[in-house]
Chains A and B, each alone.
Chain A
């Protein structure tokens, strides 16, 4: 938007319009704000909805930013002509020297502030200005109108642009601040409400993010905008304002819009962490929490290198891949020979410059290009020589040739990580589409194809893969690698899970998927796996987008052509509206907003506490009615209980802790649990089968799909753990030091008992695990398959349920034939939430979350994480799912506190709790369906296990394992859902809050179901690094 020419008249007009509208809008906004405030007291979703509906629906976090920028200018003209704003801004720019100033008029005060704070370069400012307005045009018309208006008024009144800016800035600041203050409280409440609504939003995900989300944000005005700098592949910088709490998704989609990229699943945003390590931005998580103290600088990169680029649908996608590969080659990340450097360089020249022109193209014409890490004259000559031979190739053809040659390079698409083998020898782990490669120096010394890998896990700084036994081998083997640190280990693990999900879970068995899809919303999920992406991109039927090629160094233009502008206007919309792709992609986008909202809610909900294990709490239907306040109360009570418990209990078993630290990751626990559930042993299935299932899952609702995929993998992992001894972690888990079970009435005593029981159970479990190793193998192989075949439909339903839970509560209930049992897991190390229809203790359960809050970790992330996983499922982000799949054990946990709130089934549950402590037991419960029923229902009638399903999702801090069991008792079918939520993390995370959020979500998700038990097991990390 830096364009200078601007018509003053137009500018003026707009402001005026804006003024008028703003005035009207303000009242509305005020009303809205008031509403939230009123609602504050009550936690009910309804109240939040008013405020939240618009805002929440959209994107609590992300929405705000976009609207803000766009809102002011748009109000007047935008409604009528969405496109109008951009031109005006341009004109302004032209006239006014500083484009920023001109733009500033239109921008809301707070935006200006932010910019100033951020000290964005002039270039950025113009871009932002231009983009936002365009976006606003359409989106704002709908919801936004009101909020933006108030601020615009001041600006509009002041005629001269520059003066206006100043004034507006001042006024804007003040106003926003006030609003913020007033609203803050309200906001919190509203946010909470929003969080609830978020779920709804997620359901609605199909909606375009843009419009609805923006409006809400504006209303709240909390949004603090941050300017993100994104380094594009062509060397340009794309700056984009994002609400501070926006999730990675939001930014990513903005970037994709900017690029006019539809086949976006191969790409991702990366950033450098404090250690200067490149990390992938998790789309489902808040950006701020991922980058932490790092600057808001990102890079747009290829995340999954398509093995066969020729199968990409659009040239623009191939072009971007080419740019990435040129970067990889120039940096030496993709090694290749001299000849290959020359050949690839010559194709680059052909694509960028066209046919070689002897007159125009002297040797120096290629000096701007970098073809190799160290470029020699000889190489350049060779490049030119080869360039001459490409005469006639169009840029697209040259790109295709480039890719055809590049894809054959042995290191193409291999993501390398430094590690040491079991003997301390330096090696490199290479993650690629086909599996995991092990390099020593440049030599490939081992390779593990995905089908050969049963389980992927990491514990502390160790990364493990469990290998399927070969034909001549009887036992699985586990290969361990030592990484520099815990983060590195987790990073590798995540990358593995992502790659496995993306490349391996493509299911050739479409038919089944189709079934699943029919049940759920298939198309929503598209884009996550390569198969889905391909399917989605096959539907693209837009004219090939125009884009300009820029030599890597000369850069300076944005890749996209005209379309980009329009895209920006409808930033959110484009995705949704995107032609063919839209179906899957759009849905994802729609969900994004929802995701964002959760984060907000989380922050509000924050509960102190580290890891809390919530075991039993019976949540009745009443729970649903309970407001957030009630929940908070409960939490508070719980927190008290925890405190008392903490105080009373010394560290029971240091040794156990140690064991844990070393061995048990959350995943291991999960695995164990799953092991019990063997019937579902999807995990056990051979890769192919697993894939199929996963594929099915994926097809279902987006969020669910991810979860499903993960589940499959996790299941596998579980199997491994159970069966193989290799899983040292599980035993450790079992040895949870402190376990407190609180029955509704007497907490402490029960706690102690429970602890005892737990310990006993844990010990037994651990034994069982070790013993189970032998058993599991067979089960995994045979059982899983059979089960799968038999119960495909049921599973699907279950999956759907899960998904529905995650997204919209209502959906879940229907999906489950017998909604009754829902287990809600609390958190700490692991949270299992079981909801049983019969149980009345729900109230207590609600309290549980509050208790968790006690832990009082400053960071709300856990909640987000929990939500995210769900969302992920919905959103269908691979990254999110990936984490879930992965078994993560977070070593640092020192103390474990068990708080069991429940009651009727305490005894029975105790077993579970014990199990839970280890993390595994929860799943175990589900697995042992009969036992669980006895405990929960008290009927004692043996049920027929119809289906069992376990889904595990993991985010950075939170691992959610959902186990769904359907049983047939008498004529009634009962669906029991157990969720185990393990919140792990550095002290940064507010576990309590996360737990509370998780429970709340669970309830919301499954309105029809009652929460039977909430068990909170809290493990405090005494010293993380001890083992490291």
Chain B
């Protein structure tokens, strides 16, 4: 397992800009009344996020231009699962999202990653669905949340792709996505929300894992989604929701000593169910040719 190393060593981040169609459903703009999104604000927040990744964390940022025809393409995390040298192009639950991967394939190929197609195997409709936001890779194993968007067959494909690792399925409650309630907060740390659903998910993970993880519990589920990167100089960077958005969780992050905390707003995307990690695919490609 040449690829095994502690979680957090990334060199590249792939992001995709916010399209003008942000907030509109693909079908035709049926937006929930509450989900009034501010495009400009969303784009600002996106800019802050990418800026932090590039300038603060020091990742090489690869930005794929937005496509107005793909209103959800900014959620690039869903479209691929990348571990080591292998990238699995997922099969999103929504039919219309499956074309989002096209641009990404080119990028991944340029990064010399081994691209594995998931859609091709099953072909057609009946099959597996998997979205990256339901996949938590801890550096040692995969957890796949069985949610409204990800099914067992999708998880099986993932397991078949990343054979070195244990792939465990965990339940996700309340229509959320796995990454909505948890994320990695360090090489060996899982940040988890405090809702009943999150607790249940955590219990399942603890039951299924062979490893031991530190658990950082935050009062708000939305705060549980962070972006952790271990920088070049062995600096720990953590992008997390700012105090304004998650007032109760700020103290919890202060427990992470020696971390460089980067509060990053994500309010607009969150209205659409997005979280910080939704915006980027993190890759480790030091051997890039």
Contact = CB atoms under 8 A, between A and B. Distances in A.
Interface in B81-103: 84-86
A292 interface: no
B4 A408 contact: yes
B169 A445 contact: yes
A371 to B, nearest CB: 14
A440 B159 CA distance: 11
Interface in A397-449: 405, 408-410, 434, 440-447
Contacts of A443: 144, 152, 155-156, 159, 167-169
A445 B160 CA distance: 15
Contacts of A444: 166-169, 208
A343 B156 contact: no
Interface string A883-896: 00000000000000
Contacts of B168: 443-445, 447
Contacts of A440: 152
Interface residues of A, number: 21
A337 interface: yes
A410 B2 contact: no
A443 B156 CA distance: 6
Contacts, number: 77
A336 B1 contact: yes
A394 interface: no
A446 B3 CA distance: 26
A336 B1 CA distance: 8
A408 B85 CA distance: 17
Nearest to B143: A444
Given A443-B155, A443-B156, A444-B169, A337 B208 contact: no
Nearest to A414: B166
A339 B2 CA distance: 7
Contacts of B159: 441-443
B163 A337 contact: yes
A336 B85 CA distance: 14
Nearest to A441: B156
Interface string A668-692: 0000000000000000000000000
A335 interface: yes
Contacts of B210: 410, 434, 447
A342 B84 CA distance: 14
A442 B144 CA distance: 12
Nearest to B165: A410
Contact of A447 (B85, B162, B163, B209): B209
Contact of B2 (A340, A446, A447): A340
B243 interface: no
Nearest to B4: A408
A338 interface: yes
B84 A339 contact: yes
Contacts of B141: 410
Contact of A340 (B144, B164, B169): B164
Interface string A62-78: 00000000000000000
Given A408-B1, A441-B159, A337 B86 contact: yes
A337 B248 CA distance: 42
B207 interface: yes
B109 interface: no
Contacts of A442: 156, 159-160, 163, 167
Contact of B85 (A339, A405, A410): A339
B55 interface: no
Interface in A312-346: 335-340, 342-343
B164 A409 contact: yes
A336 B166 CA distance: 11
Contacts of A343: 1-2
B114 interface: yes
A340 B161 CA distance: 12
Nearest to A434: B210
Given A440-B152, A444-B208, A445-B168, A338 B2 contact: no
A336 B162 CA distance: 8
Interface of B: 1-4, 84-86, 114, 141, 144, 152, 155-156, 159-169, 207-210
21 contacts: A335-B163, A337-B1, A338-B86, A338-B114, A339-B2, A339-B84, A343-B2, A405-B2, A408-B164, A410-B164, A410-B165, A410-B166, A410-B167, A410-B210, A442-B156, A443-B144, A443-B156, A443-B159, A444-B166, A444-B169, A445-B168
Given A337-B162, A337-B164, A443-B152, 20 more contacts: A336-B163, A337-B1, A337-B3, A340-B2, A340-B3, A342-B2, A405-B4, A408-B164, A409-B164, A410-B165, A410-B167, A442-B156, A442-B159, A442-B163, A443-B168, A444-B166, A444-B169, A445-B169, A447-B209, A447-B210
Task: For the complex of A and B, list the 7 residue pairs with the smallest distance between their C-beta atoms, beginning with the closest.
Answer: A442-B159, A410-B166, A444-B168, A335-B163, A343-B2, A408-B1, A441-B156
